[in-house]
Amino acid sequence: MFDPIQFKSNFPLFFQKENQSLVYLDNAATTQKPQCVIDAVTDFYITKNANANRASHRLARSATNLLEGVRQKSADFLGARYKDEIVFTAGATESLNFLAQGLSHQLNKGDEILLSVYEHHANLVPWQVIAKETGAKLVFISGDFESVGNQLTSKTRIVSCTAASNVFGKISDVDFFKNVKDKFPGVFFIIDASQVIGKIPVNVKDNFCDFLVCSPHKFYGPTGIGLLYGRKDCLSRLRVSKFGGEMIKNVDLLDSSYVEPPYSFEAGTSPLASIAGLGACIDFVERQYKKGMLEYEKKLINYVHEKLSVLVSDFPEVNLLTSPRNNIGIAAISSDKYSMADIGFWLDEQDVAVRVGDHCAQPLLKSLNLTAVLRVSVAPYNTFEDIDVLFSCLCDFFNSNSECLDVALATDKKVSNYKDELSAINYHDLLTIRSWGNRYKKILSLGKLVNKKPFLHNNESLVSGCEAKLWINTIVDKSQNGTVFTFVIDSDSMVVKGLAALILCRVNAKSATQIKSIDFDAYFSELGLEKYLSESRFSGMQALLKHIFLTIK
């Protein structure tokens, strides 16, 4: 039997005082790390630290042994025939960049690269760059993976697809690749297995791909290390795109030659401590009762879907976008009415960690007419109680905030018509409210005063450094009494609108000198914002202030 409580006991983060009420449901972004992985990273620095491949002393030899030992372990873990089929990279993103750069010389004008709309930006943008450079064409699998065979043409050179969507969790059946691969021997088949390794069994010996990439930090390993598997004959056809020390056979002033793969792809000093952690991580995963773990995760994701189905039936403006069938452990919701960013903030205030946004899959969201999705992603250390906490916080949000969040849509596109939008705000009202919870609600209601202005939603108006989207436009009024500034805003988050309103009610219709004389630190601490707001929301406010000060300079 798989025991989630015993499993969780391996992860020290959950037992730190500050994390005892943490409900961590952002595992598709990165998982927590077990003690054995943390120990392996630390132990490397304490007992083994030296650079590998410079075997002139004892420690360097032991670092080299570590590197090659973990390479062998990684090869066994993925089912590779040879250890030299494993390249250590910085992560799935770097692996995919290596593949796109390294295969570009195989592409001619009009050749086709077949991808799916489910791809993470890491498996899309590098191909866009290469397609532009070579004149190759990006083609997208329409429909499900079952149809992949019908979509390969005589022009297809590369097929690169995710083994599971990082937004919807749907597992792609890579067996379809296996059937097709034999019929198209000249095509490179690439699998982005970032979301599945460590969860479902994957064995490259089954010959469904030529290359496979993954990021161990998504299955309990450290960050900073990635794996790129390439079948021996394919890896040797990959062009090197990163150059420097360690990958060199000979260097003259005008030309150089390189060593063989995988070393030709490992320029520079390898992330040895992370590699030590990866070794411990593979041992850790291999020690688990994998079948039981997978079954437990399935039960968890079923339960998440059960709860979310209740939620969407109680709050019909919320849409459940996923189904538990064939799912890697992800549930996703969206809504036209409620701001996903606000729900994320609300959950965060209660220490429930989920991810909100486009999940680095903008084309997928756009194809479904969505701008943001709230994603819940489970791991086997999550419990059914975690899901109950999530559900109860979500219900609280919709029950207590729904009236605050329904905002009129501005139809008037003239920014100056919104100049007085915030003139009724009196921040002193906020100071009379004692409890932080009620202040938070008041901030939400201030957000309601800010009309929705879709015409502001463009890159020029976007303030960078905010967690949610914040768009701003400035009206400069010049008269004989001097120049005064008014800022008009919109955001996809009601909380951010409310917080921005608290700043703008102090600065709007004022001159640069007047604005500069305001003591914002004192103001924020008087409002209690610094103390109660989470760091990221607070830094969003600082980003807005920075923008204002740059504008009035």
Q: Name the residues annotated as catalytic.
A: 360
230, 233, 239, 245 alpha-carbon torsion, rounded to 10° = 70
What would the DSSP string read from start to end of 177-208? HHHHHHH-TTSEEEEE-TTTTTTS---GGG-S
In 441-515, the DSSP E strands lie at: 470-479, 482-491
Comparison of 191 and 276: residue with beta carbon closer to ligand PMP: 191
Piece of the chain touching ligand PMP by CB under 6 A; list 90-98, 168-176, 253-261, 455-463: 90-98
Name 86's bridge partners.
Answer: 229
User: Among 156, 160, 215, 339, which residue sits at the site for ligand PMP (rule: CB under 6 A)?
Assistant: 215
What's the closest the beta carbon of residue 201 comes to ligand PMP, in angstroms?
A: 18
Comparison of 212 and 235: residue with beta carbon closer to ligand PMP: 212
Comparison of 90 and 543: residue with beta carbon closer to ligand PMP: 90
Does 26 help bind ligand PMP (rule: CB under 6 A)? no
Question: 199-204 contacts: CB < 8 A, separation 24 or more?
Answer: 199/294, 199/297, 199/328, 199/329, 200/171, 200/294, 200/328, 201/290, 202/78, 202/79, 202/163, 203/78, 203/79, 204/78, 204/79, 204/80, 204/229, 204/231
What's the closest the beta carbon of residue 208 comes to ligand PMP, in angstroms?
A: 17
Does 91 help bind ligand PMP (rule: CB under 6 A)? yes
The b-or-e profile of 352-371 (16+ CB within 10 A means b, else e) is: bbbbbbbbbbeebbeeeebb
Comparison of 93 and 486: residue with beta carbon closer to ligand PMP: 93
Length of the chain (residues): 553
Q: How far apart are CA 313 and CA 398, in angstroms?
A: 12
Piece of the chain touching ligand PMP by CB under 6 A; list 191-199, 247-255, 319-327, 381-389: 191-199
Query: How far are the Cα atoms of 212, 375, 381 from residue 280, in angstroms, in the given order?
Result: 21, 29, 18
Tell me the three-class secondary structure of 399-412, residue by residue: HHHHHHHCCCECCC
What's the closest the beta carbon of residue 64 comes to ligand PMP, in angstroms?
A: 26
Comparison of 30 and 445: residue with beta carbon closer to ligand PMP: 30
Site for ligand PMP, residues 344 to 373, rule: CB under 6 A: none
Comparison of 85 and 192: residue with beta carbon closer to ligand PMP: 192
- At a CB cut-off of 8 Å and minimum separation 6, what does 393 contact? 346, 347, 350, 352
What's the closest the beta carbon of residue 215 comes to ligand PMP, in angstroms?
A: 3
Q: How far apart are CA 437 and CA 390, in angstroms?
A: 18
The b-or-e profile of 262-281 (16+ CB within 10 A means b, else e) is: bbbbbbeebbbbbbbbbbbb
User: In the stretch 237-256, what mask flags binding to ligand PMP with x, by CB under 6 A?
Assistant: --------------------
What's the closest the beta carbon of residue 194 comes to ligand PMP, in angstroms?
A: 4
Comparison of 162 and 339: residue with beta carbon closer to ligand PMP: 162
- Considering just the CA atoms, what is the radius of gyration of the chain in Å? 26
Closest CA to 331 of 359, 351, 350: 359
Does 195 help bind ligand PMP (rule: CB under 6 A)? yes
The owner of tokens 């993976």 is 145
What's the closest the beta carbon of residue 379 comes to ligand PMP, in angstroms?
A: 14
Comparison of 165 and 473: residue with beta carbon closer to ligand PMP: 165
What's the closest the beta carbon of residue 31 comes to ligand PMP, in angstroms?
A: 11
Comparison of 73 and 120: residue with beta carbon closer to ligand PMP: 120
Site for ligand PMP, residues 474 to 503, rule: CB under 6 A: none
Q: How far apart are CA 268 and CA 404, in angstroms?
A: 54
Piece of the chain touching ligand PMP by CB under 6 A; list 86-94, 254-262, 325-333, 488-496: 86-94
User: Among 31, 116, 156, 162, which residue sits at the site for ligand PMP (rule: CB under 6 A)?
Assistant: 162
What's the closest the beta carbon of residue 162 comes to ligand PMP, in angstroms?
A: 5
Check: CB of residue 228 under 8 Å from CB of residue 204.
no
Site for ligand PMP, residues 102 to 131, rule: CB under 6 A: 120, 122-123
Alpha helices (runs of H) in 112-251, residue ranges in sequence order = 125-134, 148-151, 175-183, 232-235
User: Among 87, 92, 273, 285, which residue sits at the site for ligand PMP (rule: CB under 6 A)?
Assistant: 92
User: Among 160, 194, 327, 491, which residue sits at the site for ligand PMP (rule: CB under 6 A)?
Assistant: 194
Q: How far apart are CA 263 and CA 261, in angstroms?
A: 5
Does 224 help bind ligand PMP (rule: CB under 6 A)? no
What's the closest the beta carbon of residue 450 comes to ligand PMP, in angstroms?
A: 32
User: Among 112, 192, 342, 467, which residue sits at the site for ligand PMP (rule: CB under 6 A)?
Assistant: 192
Piece of the chain touching ligand PMP by CB under 6 A; list 34-42, 85-93, 374-382, 512-520: 85-93
Total Cβ atoms within 10 A of residue 19: 15
The residues binding ligand PMP (CB under 6 A) are: 91-93, 120, 122-123, 162, 166, 192, 194-195, 215
